[in-house]
Amino acid sequence: MSELKNICILGSTGTIGVNTLDVVSRHPDLYRVVALTANTNVEKLFQQCATFKPAFAAMYDDDSAEQLSSRLQQAGIETAVFSGMEGLQKLAAEPQVDYVMAAIVGAAGLLPTLAAAREGKRILLANKEALVMSGAIFMDEVKQNNATLLPIDSEHNAIFQCMPEQFSRGLENSGVNKILLTASGGPFRNKTPDELKQVTPEQAVAHPNWVMGQKISVDSATMMNKGLEVIEACWLFNTRPEMIQVVVHPESVIHSMVSYNDGSVLAQLGNPDMRTPIAHSLAWPHRIASGVEPLDIFKVAQLNFEEADFDRFPCLRLAYEALNMGGTATCILNAANEIAVDAFLNKQLAFNNIANVIESSLQHISIRDAVDIDTILNTDHESRLFAREQVKRLEFKQ
């Protein structure tokens, strides 16, 4: 495993991006950063370029890209800067890139991640929304172009580590009878439905165990994150929703489990730190140090498990419903969720209305066969327009 691998990090300024740079910087003999990308955070991307001297950088926002370019020039750093969705796609597909960390949040990550799949890269997939939107199409591109898809989501990375080697032949043929997908339950695990109406964005983003970006933190609070993860698991492990059971496990020490027909249940444990799945996917099938503290099981002492409450967390129910509806339903679910979460973070929408925006989107937007990427992008667009209308209807009256 001595060959140096060239890495492109999509979303390098985010939580996953920064953790990836932390792991990569521990192994300069194994990994070289060749491309970094971000949305608008010029200062942070400039600092990262100054440290890692990548050949390429891209910013989605054109003005930000121009600012970055002139700052780099002034500092005498020879990173070539690109912009827009084309810029992101170009870097993900660059011939010299071996590994692509897909860590853009939301639908914006779909096309760049797909570009990496089309070029047969090793994709380290954090951007679960890409798979939720375009499941079958995305998995086909991975297969057809011999790309390698490795999950960064801690649960899916744990499941992958507990799976038999040939799981893609079908779980039942491999002796697997269930996937136990763990969930921390988020910051509102014990709140009553009435209390849930009053919670603020500040409370929602304060996750008890994990430090994450704002959107996924709100998704964890509504448990939509777990819903998106059930959909993600179906595609990654080629299985059906009935094979996946959500288990609330507040300590976040077991990151998921796989149950076999001989009675064995395999689990992956560790401190809740994303550098473990990142290091695993970078080095797979080998292992490298990640900087994560070893797990002290005596300090953990107790592990608890509860069933998920679909009534208090309707987003989880909606994700299963969308999965069963098939076609573009999960794309509608994802788009409506992004709009509703954004409105909640901007204090336009009450927490409990996030689920209402999603539910009415699933009821009113026509579900099509997910035949190609244009159908997905059109559905995403249409759903965003509809969800914005719903936000207006349910908006706080000041």
Question: What residue ranges bind Mg ion (CB under 5 A)?
Answer: 153-155
Query: CA 75, 77, 78 angle in degrees (round to 5)?
Result: 145
Which of residues 4 and 211 has its CB atom nearest to ligand NAD in the complex?
211
* CB 362 within 8 Å of CB 318: yes
Q: Least distance to ligand NAD from the beta carbon of 217, Å?
A: 8
15 binds ligand NAD (CB under 6 A): yes
Residues 106-165 that bind ligand NAD (CB under 6 A): 108, 126-129, 153
* CB 50 within 8 Å of CB 43: no
* CB 246 within 8 Å of CB 316: yes
Region binding ligand NAD by CB under 6 A among candidate stretches 8-16, 68-76, 257-265, 316-324: 8-16
Which of residues 134 and 154 has its CB atom nearest to Mg ion in the complex?
154
- Among the listed residues 7, 16, 267, 332, the single contact to ligand NAD using CB under 6 A: 16
Binding residues for ligand NAD, total number by CB under 6 A? 27
Q: Least distance to ligand NAD from the beta carbon of 93, Å?
A: 15
* CB 290 within 8 Å of CB 275: yes
183 binds ligand NAD (CB under 6 A): no
Encoded amino acid at 385, one letter: L
Using alpha carbons, list the distances in angstroms from residue 264 to 21, 147, 171: 36, 31, 15
Q: Token digits for 368? A: 């099509």
380 binds ligand NAD (CB under 6 A): no
14 binds ligand NAD (CB under 6 A): yes
> Residue 16 touches which of Mg ion, ligand NAD, none (CB < 5 to 8 A by kind)?
ligand NAD
DSSP state of 133: H
Residues 273-332 that bind ligand NAD (CB under 6 A): 274
Place of tokens 């395999």: 266
Instruction: Tell me the longest C-alpha to C-alpha distance in the chain.
Output: 64
Encoded amino acid at 38, one letter: A
Which of residues 129 and 380 has its CB atom nearest to ligand NAD in the complex?
129
CA distance 72 to 91: 18
Using alpha carbons, list the distances in angstroms from residue 140 to 28, 144, 281, 297: 33, 6, 21, 41
Q: Token digits for 366? A: 């026509």
Which of residues 155 and 338 has its CB atom nearest to Mg ion in the complex?
155
Residue from 161, 188, 148, 150 nearest 270 by CA: 161
Q: Least distance to ligand NAD from the beta carbon of 14, Å?
A: 2
> Residue 129 touches which of ligand NAD, Mg ion, none (CB < 5 to 8 A by kind)?
ligand NAD
358 binds ligand NAD (CB under 6 A): no
Q: Token digits for 40? A: 């608008």
186 binds ligand NAD (CB under 6 A): no
Which of residues 331 and 394 has its CB atom nearest to ligand NAD in the complex?
331
Half-sphere exposure of 163 (CA within 13 A, CB side): 23
**Which residue has its beta carbon closest to ligand NAD?**
14
CA distance 88 to 332: 24
Which of residues 101 and 370 has its CB atom nearest to ligand NAD in the complex?
101
* E-assigned strand segments in the chain: 5-10, 31-38, 56-59, 80-83, 99-102, 122-125, 148-151, 176-183, 244-248, 254-260, 265-269, 306-307
**Which residue has its beta carbon closest to Mg ion?**
153
Region binding ligand NAD by CB under 6 A among candidate stretches 71-79, 212-220, 332-340, 348-356: 212-220
> Residue 79 touches which of Mg ion, ligand NAD, none (CB < 5 to 8 A by kind)?
none
Which of residues 112 and 314 has its CB atom nearest to ligand NAD in the complex?
112
Which of residues 38 and 163 has its CB atom nearest to ligand NAD in the complex?
38
Q: Which residues bind ligand NAD (CB under 6 A)?
A: 11-17, 38-39, 41, 60, 88, 103-105, 108, 126-129, 153, 210, 212-214, 216, 274
